[in-house]
């Protein structure tokens, strides 16, 4: 069984300038950049990857690219495979397994607002459908329901449910999960990774690592070695950039703007998301400058 700890990048899905097609060549570059930065893995087809706007053909192509490029570089691939339809989530879960992913990210069903028993049965049905490990995705801000620590404790008894991306923003929730079971906890918020580590989290599914994978990887190495003095320094160096990028607009709009400014992406998002405004763009440019994040010569000319 794979273990999941360290820095995982919730990788963007690059689009052509008009947003009509997935830029797989650019995605391959991004995966290579993540490996060079030292992260443990990548998460394609998640929230940051604008999964709801991808058709199945694109969904397959993105995971195939991530696996094809990332696995030989030693990256773990945790493929987004969630749905608010249990049958569709099972389909995507099996698809992720067939494409060579190491695990699947399974989000709490959105819009339906199931009960805790409904959540339990949903995830158990997926876990029973394949031996592919599951990383639960607890993000009530987007799904409108919270997977409670009690339900996570029940789910963690299944051998295929191995980790949880905890994006509740709640230290109490993370603490209660750790108290109840040994499931691996990954922070779902960059600015809270160090705080969650203090109560037992072992890594992060990061947004900001799309542009600074080396810095997020270092922060997670500080967690692994229990070097909390160094962890605080890593956290302080990332905090303003993380809070700034994720507080200006809905993710991944500011992130893709930042990557465009760095020559790493077209900046295109798909409706219903729209590009960052000029004022937000100027603020992001300042954030990048203050954080000393610059384009490499190879990308600056693109």
- Return the active site residues: 137, 165
Cα separation of 38 and 206, whole Å? 13
Residues 6+ apart with CB under 8 A from 56: none
CA angle 185, 202, 70 (to 5 degrees): 95
**Hey, what long-range contacts does 86-93 have (CB within 8 A, 24 or more apart)?**
86/121, 86/122, 86/125, 86/126, 89/122, 89/126, 90/125, 90/126, 90/129, 90/130, 92/59, 93/126, 93/129, 93/130, 93/132, 93/134
CA angle 37, 39, 43 (to 5 degrees): 120
Q: Which two tokens stand for residue 233?
A: 């320094």
Q: Which two tokens stand for residue 199?
A: 């109560």
List, in sequence order, every residue forming a beta bridge with 105; answer none if it has no partner.
Answer: 80, 135
Phi-psi region of 279 (alpha: psi -120 to 50; beta: other; left: phi over 0): alpha
- Do 141 and 165 touch, CB atoms closer than 8 A? no
List, in sequence order, every residue forming a beta bridge with 137; answer none if it has no partner.
Answer: 107, 165
- Do 220 and 6 touch, CB atoms closer than 8 A? yes
């Amino acid at each position: 069984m794979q273990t999941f700890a360290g820095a995982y990048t919730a990788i963007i899905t690059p689009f052509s300038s008009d947003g009509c097609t997935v830029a797989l060549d650019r995605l391959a570059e991004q995966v290579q950049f993540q490996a060079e930065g030292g992260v443990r893995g990548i998460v394609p087809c998640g929230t940051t990857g604008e999964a709801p706007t991808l058709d199945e053909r694109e969904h397959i192509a993105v995971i195939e690219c991530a696996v094809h490029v990332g696995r030989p570089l030693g990256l773990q691939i945790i493929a987004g495979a969630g749905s608010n339809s249990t049958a569709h989530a099972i389909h995507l879960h099996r698809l992720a397994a067939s494409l060579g992913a190491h695990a699947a990210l399974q989000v709490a069903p959105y819009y339906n607002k199931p009960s805790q028993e409904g959540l339990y049965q949903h995830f158990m049905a997926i876990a029973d459908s394949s031996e592919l490990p599951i990383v639960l995705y607890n993000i009530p801000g987007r799904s409108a329901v919270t997977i409670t620590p009690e339900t996570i404790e029940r789910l963690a008894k299944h051998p295929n449910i191995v980790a949880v991306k905890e994006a509740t923003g709640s230290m109490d929730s993370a603490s209660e999960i750790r108290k109840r079971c040994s499931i691996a906890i990954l922070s779902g918020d960059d600015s809270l990774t160090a705080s969650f580590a203090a109560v037992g989290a072992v890594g992060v599914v990061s947004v900001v690592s799309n542009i600074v994978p080396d810095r997020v990887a270092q922060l997670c190495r500080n967690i692994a070695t229990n070097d909390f003095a160094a962890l605080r320094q890593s956290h302080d160096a990332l905090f303003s950039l993380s809070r700034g990028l994720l507080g200006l607009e809905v993710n991944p709009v500011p992130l893709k703007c930042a990557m465009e400014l760095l020559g790493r992406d077209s900046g295109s998002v798909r409706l219903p998301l729209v590009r960052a405004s000029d004022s937000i763009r100027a603020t992001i440019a300042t954030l990048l400058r203050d954080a000393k994040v610059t384009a490499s010569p190879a990308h600056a000319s693109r």
